[in-house]
Amino acid sequence: MDIAAVPAWLNEHGIRWVKTEGVSPDGLVVGKHLSRAKFEHALPLGNAITDLALGYDVGGTPYLAWWDAWRADALGDIHQRPDLNTLVVAPDRPGTANVLCDFVDREGVPIPSCPRGVLTHVVDQLTALGFAAKAAFEIEAMIFTDSLGPARRRHFRGLDPMSTGVPIGYLHHNSRQQLAFVDEVLMRLEGIGIPVEGWHDEAAPAQFEINLDPADPLTACDHVVRAKQVMREVAMDQGHVVTFMAKPSEEYGNGLHVHHSLTRDGEPVFYAADGTMSDTTRHWLGGLMRSAGAATSFFCPNINSYRRMVGFAAAPTVASWGEDNKSAALRVLSESPKAARIEYRVAGGDANPYLVLAVALASGIAGLGAFAQLPDPITVSGWGLPPEGYPHLPSSITRAADALEADRGLASVMGEDFVRFWINTRRWEWLMFHTSGGDPTATAVTDWELDRYFELI
Amino acid sequence: MPVENGNRPASIVETEADPTPIVLIVAATLRRAERSPKLAALLEKASGNVALRSTVDPQAATIRFQRGRVRVERGVAPDTHVTIATDLNRMNDEDPPKPKVSGAAAHLRLALIAGKVLDPPTGTWQEAATDFWAHVSRHPASPTGLRIVCLDDRSELTLGATPASYEIHGTAHRLTALFSGNTVFGEELLAGHLYGVGSLQHTAELTGRSLAYMMGR
């Protein structure tokens, strides 16, 4: 939408308030509620907001162990530049509009730590190479009948799942129990133009999965952010709690699988027409394999994320690929021109979708540039494999940060400043866990993790 | 077997893979003890396992003295001979709580050695500050000059370029604790134990550098 068209759109929908929505590196949606007049006055740069919006950890402690070049010497403001193409009427609040924003400085220059900006930067490089991408996410979450206040007071333990406690997926007995919640979610998503392919009960108690339609990369991620936000809001409105935490209990965890496909001149790149993979696909996939360890830092961003990364529990544990192999990190589907795609299965439900897709695409771009060699696929189970000959994915937040630091390909595509910032934030998260009450010897999910991640991530 | 740690001379102190912060801090403290010939000799000869445990949170580390090799691991190992329990957050107070030591009766020599190597000599605050500055000034984002003011006697030291772009003020005790790698600058600032004059950027950089120094990185 052009700026000139904004007043008419606001009039048409009777908008009096606009909620600005920026997404922090941890995936938290942050912004302001602006009067219509203030919103219009602030265009095109958008409203000012403290640079701390990108400078807090998920527990609310400001990062105070390094300083990013874009920050002012003392506290300063940055801006939330609205992407006017994302203006929608709030599905539950007539008279209010929501708009997604990028974080920019006073000159309108993108802030390197803005996840939406990082994805845009990566997609621009992909476009320059002559490719177009599409992506689709599978959002897993868990819904409990308890309301938020009591759940908080119990540190999110002992909650009642909105399903049986039997770990079987696809049970309509369970989906019937979740219907009132999901129906409201689907209605609101439809209202803000987010198409859904389908949904179903998933394997863990309380768990369900919503599959969004494929879209261009930025739109696909915008839809994930908004869908998660809608789920939180509906849960609150109905007196329930929902979580996207990677591993809130000892049952199956929440994933955020992402499918991506490429076209060049309208032709599907990953389609193996005669059963033979093209060189482009081999180098792209080789890049994904080469950076799989480093990319884990984005797919598994939190202390809790690594509890999900255990064998035979749905999440892949080895840097691996295979044709239609769901135990591999990368499931390749190359046999149909309409559905040729790669599914990256490592990300947890706690990952930031912009960064998940950005690192997947960046890995491929780096692979193309380096003519990355593709190792053999696995045709066996990806779980229970020995360490020799099968590179295991990092098993902790620090090891993943080390892997990212050692990877030069990703930083060159995603941005050196951003990757440095991200590594710092992950090491900070490690430090916070150990020095603010987290127990590194605990074999099960701790109160520290539940208090920090259950509600917000 | 001696372990090379960057540019440092060979050390007999090593850590577990993927160490926790307390493991790194204990290992860094033991490596500082190695600089003293007397303490290095004690480290070389010691044998037995000593755990250091926080009384206020789950942080803990076990030191395995293995006659010529010292290994630091997370947690309190089941084969620990001596356990030292203390409030790790208050170890550098002017009046720190007395640690509770168990197992010392049966392993007195080990307990005494642990007590010494875990509290290596720090020198004066000026000496410690000079060592700290050598670590900090290597990083381009650090202040180009640091002025330090001791509030006990108003003595001063300026390191690096003048006029200094950052100042730290505090008592000799607090300055020594910071510059010896025993405290973190930002935490000391928030607690009101030290004062800083300069930009938030330099405050953050000095905090990060003091954290790295504390963990031997």
Contact A66 B141 (CB under 8 A): yes
Total residues found in chain A within this entry: 457
Buried b (16+ CB within 10 A) or exposed e, A320-358: bbbbebebbbbbbbbeeeeebbbbbbbbbbbbbbbbbbb
Q: Which residues of A touch B139 (CB under 8 A)?
A: none
Is residue B156 less than 8 Å (CB to CB) from chain A? no
Contact B204 A64 (CB under 8 A): yes
Chain-centroid distance of CA A119 in Å reads: 11
pTM, two decimal places: 0.95
Q: Which residues of A touch B202 (CB under 8 A)?
A: 67
Question: How far is A145 from A159, CA to CA, in rounded Å?
Answer: 8
Is the sign of the CA dihedral A412, A413, A418, A419 positive or negative?
A: negative
Residue in A293, A314, A250 with CA at minimum distance from that of residue A396: A293
Question: How far is A51 from A421, CA to CA, in rounded Å?
Answer: 14
Q: Residue A114 corresponds to which tokens in the numbers above?
A: 């803005």
**Tell me, what DSSP letter sits at residue A170?**
S
Contact B70, B43 (CB under 8 A): yes
Tell me the count of A-B CB pairs closer than 8 A.
Answer: 56
Per DSSP (E only), the strands in A269-340 are 321-323, 330-333
Predicted confidence at residue B7, as pLDDT, reads: 41
Residues of chain B with pLDDT under 70: 1-9
Contact B194, B169 (CB under 8 A): yes
Predicted confidence at residue A210, as pLDDT, reads: 98
Q: First-to-last CA distance in chain A?
A: 30
Of A67, A431, A441, the CB nearest to B205: A67
Predicted confidence at residue A232, as pLDDT, reads: 97
Question: How far is B110 from B112, CA to CA, in rounded Å?
Answer: 5
Residue in B91, B111, B98, B134 with CA at minimum distance from that of residue B49: B111
Residue in A95, A76, A97 with CA at minimum distance from that of residue A86: A97
Q: Which residue has the tokens 């482009």?
A: A280
Q: Which residues of A touch B208 (CB under 8 A)?
A: 65-66
Predicted confidence at residue A456, as pLDDT, reads: 96
Predicted confidence at residue A70, as pLDDT, reads: 87
Q: Which residue has the tokens 């192999």?
A: A325
Query: pLDDT tens, A27-57?
Result: 999 999 999 999 999 999 999 999 999 999 9
Predicted confidence at residue A322, as pLDDT, reads: 96
Strands B156-160 and B145-150: antiparallel
Looking at this predicted complex, what is its ipTM? 0.91
Is residue B208 less than 8 Å (CB to CB) from chain A? yes
Question: How far is B27 from B7, CA to CA, in rounded Å?
Answer: 16
Q: Which residues of B touch A65 (CB under 8 A)?
A: 186, 204, 207-208, 211
Predicted confidence at residue B1, as pLDDT, reads: 37
Residues of chain A with pLDDT under 70: none
Give the distance from residue A376's alpha carbon to the nearest chain B alpha carbon, in angstroms.
29
- Of the residues A435, A447, A448, the best mutation for testing chain B's interface (the one with the most B CB atoms within 10 Å of its CB) is A435
